[in-house]
Amino acid sequence: MMKTKQQRGVDFYLDPGETLRAGPGFRLDAVDPESTPGYDGRKADGARHLDRQDARLDDLQERLFAASKGGSDQRVLLVLQAMDTAGKGGIVSHVVGTMDPQGVHLKAFKAPTDQEKAHDFLWRIEKEVPEAGMVGVFDRSHYEDVLIHRVHGWADEAELERRYAAINDFESRLMEQGTTLVKVMLHISKDEQKDRLLARLHDPAKHWKYTTNDLAERGFWDDYQAAFQIMLEKTSTAAAPWHVIPANRKWYARIAVQQLLIDALERIGPQWPAADFDVDEQIAAVSAS
Amino acid sequence: MMKTKQQRGVDFYLDPGETLRAGPGFRLDAVDPESTPGYDGRKADGARHLDRQDARLDDLQERLFAASKGGSDQRVLLVLQAMDTAGKGGIVSHVVGTMDPQGVHLKAFKAPTDQEKAHDFLWRIEKEVPEAGMVGVFDRSHYEDVLIHRVHGWADEAELERRYAAINDFESRLMEQGTTLVKVMLHISKDEQKDRLLARLHDPAKHWKYTTNDLAERGFWDDYQAAFQIMLEKTSTAAAPWHVIPANRKWYARIAVQQLLIDALERIGPQWPAADFDVDEQIAAVSAS
């Protein structure tokens, strides 16, 4: 499974699917948010790496889209979860944003509306799952219902247990329909969050990104870490594992997510569909038109 | 209104809002699809121009998004119409694709479903109009209902007249709600379409983009040109004008659409919203957290 850096055609060895997977016995508090597992380059190397791999990701995404026109049911769903300021937005703009918008379905889930609250928590999620050929991206997701809900006690233990099971069933069904799930938790340290909140507060062009609620939620830091740990234990399955990405270094988190998407698409191996018409006949007809 | 090239900070004078506007007396058949009005550079210059203006468009779009968090109701809707192969997809990937996906709502309208057909033609459109702060992009639109429907006689003259009026009313309402409309027709020549269809047919990686229906529709070329001409006369209003962009040169069409978006956003002039909290107080609180 592992490839050398030469096989990958890049300068550094990076296999986040292996190194960052939250497998059995995984401990979130053992992950150093400053680290860059599997990558021995620096920031400038990482930026170059990201640029160089853009074209590969874009090509694979176009092939996925094209394959669906030929009848393939394959699709990808990237799920992003993280503490505030961990860099979900940067992943969307710098990694997702390099793909053709025509093949991407992005959904940022906010606090549910009254109508959404009147339904099961997966009701609003189901409506946003990607069609065949698409790369879906969830900026927050159904996992909020076992994270913020656990932290604030909006659901009791029995209900949370029901939700973990419902999520695993739901994701199994998505996979049966041809979805490859890429589940990513961006992991920053509490100090790093402080620095990033302060940076927003010191820049008037970033004030709109800040709310006083960010500080209130920060007060529940340890509870969130515990909720993430349980989420990982309950829902990091063999078929749909979580990847915990150290994210104090934004450039590292971006190349890691980019590589996870590339690897997912390479596993699918989408092919240009064969023409369902006689090519020579059409060339003659168009030439004569 | 007009700016010199120095004022724009770019090498060449380009004001598509003026030069490409379909005003009173506009004749589609007087537009040369090979031409590059307002731009005296060549392909390589155009590519550099596009790259250089990326950051400006991206910055304005972020400001628009931010302003909506401060209560602004402003938004933009780019409407793209064209003959097959004219380059709508290239506009989406190379112009729209440079903006942050979080601030873009793209909708490609296909042939309507049975459910959509059971409603008025604007029913499915209304559901996709951009929220405040967003740049909406329609790849095809409500204008299909006065283009392909006129060409194939799916609507009679009275119904088409009703639709032109309904479209103008609908767009007036969007503008009252804070929408700036950017309506773009990409204009290619019949010979150019032939070349592009043949290029698709000669490249197995492009076969999925071709259907035999493309050739059938090409047979109605003159009828489509006539339907576009009437559409322009009926719906290119002072407040929501059409811009007809010569598109045989893809690079030119891209910089023209990019500039139309930049100009629309500059007219809105979105501002970073002021903090709705006491900044110093929050800095102290975060620092102590």
Q: Determine whether the interchain pair B283/A201 forms a contact, defined as Cβ–Cβ distance below 8 Å.
A: yes
- Report the CATH number that the domain containing residue B97 is assigned in CATH: 3.40.50.300
The pLDDT value given to residue A9: 47
Q: Average of pLDDT values for B221-232? A: 98
In chain B, residues with a C-beta closer than 8 Å to the C-beta of A202 are 283
pLDDT digits (tens, 9 = 90+) for B73-84: 999 999 999 999
B219 touches chain A (CB under 8 A): yes
Q: Which of residues 142-181 of A touch B (CB under 8 A)?
A: none
Instruction: Assess whether pLDDT exceeds 80 at residue B117.
Output: yes
pLDDT digits (tens, 9 = 90+) for A81-99: 999 999 999 999 999 999 9
Mean residue pLDDT across chain B: 94
What is the maximum alpha-carbon separation in chain A? 72
Mutate which: B59, B135, B207, B276, vs A, most A CBs within 10 A: B207
The structural domain count of chain A equals 1
Instruction: Assess whether pLDDT exceeds 50 at residue B9.
Output: no
The three-state secondary structure class of A104 is strand
Q: What are phi and psi of B270, to 5 degrees?
A: -65, 140
Confidence of residue B88 (pLDDT cuts 50, 70, 90): very high
* Residue B122 belongs to domain spanning: 5-271
Residue B25 lies in a domain: yes
The pLDDT value given to residue A11: 52
Residue B278 lies in a domain: no
Residue B288 lies in a domain: no
The pLDDT value given to residue A12: 56
Give the chain A residue whose CA is nearest to the CA of B220: A289
B272 touches chain A (CB under 8 A): yes
Residue B113 lies in a domain: yes
- B123-155 burial, b if ≥16 CB within 10 A, otherwise e? ebbeebbbebbbbbbbbbbbbbbbbbbbbeeeb
State how far residue A196 is from chain B, nearest Cα, in angstroms: 10
Q: Determine whether the interchain pair B274/A207 forms a contact, defined as Cβ–Cβ distance below 8 Å.
A: yes
**Lateral strand order in the sheet of B135-139:** B104-108, B135-139, B75-82, B179-187, B242-246
Residue B283 lies in a domain: no
Instruction: Specify the amino acid at residue B200.
Output: R
Residue ranges in chain A whose pLDDT is less than 50 = 1-2, 6-9
pLDDT digits (tens, 9 = 90+) for B133-189: 999 999 999 999 999 999 999 999 999 999 999 999 999 999 999 999 999 999 999
Q: Return the closest-CA partner of residue A270 out of A83, A125, A58.
A: A58
Helices (H), strands (E): how many in chain A? 13, 5
Taking CA atoms, A123 is separated from A119, A126, A159, A166, A278, in Å, by 6, 5, 16, 12, 44
The pLDDT value given to residue B7: 47
Confidence of residue B283 (pLDDT cuts 50, 70, 90): very high
Q: Determine whether the interchain pair A207/B97 forms a contact, defined as Cβ–Cβ distance below 8 Å.
A: no
In 10 A of CB B281, how many CB atoms?
11
B285 touches chain A (CB under 8 A): yes
Q: What percent of chain B has pLDDT over 70?
A: 96
The pLDDT value given to residue B173: 98
Mutate which: A201, A221, A281, vs B, most B CBs within 10 A: A201
Instruction: Outline where chain B has alpha helix (H).
Output: 5-8, 16-19, 43-69, 88-94, 114-117, 123-126, 144-151, 157-176, 190-201, 212-218, 221-235, 250-268, 279-287
The pLDDT value given to residue B18: 86
The pLDDT value given to residue A15: 85
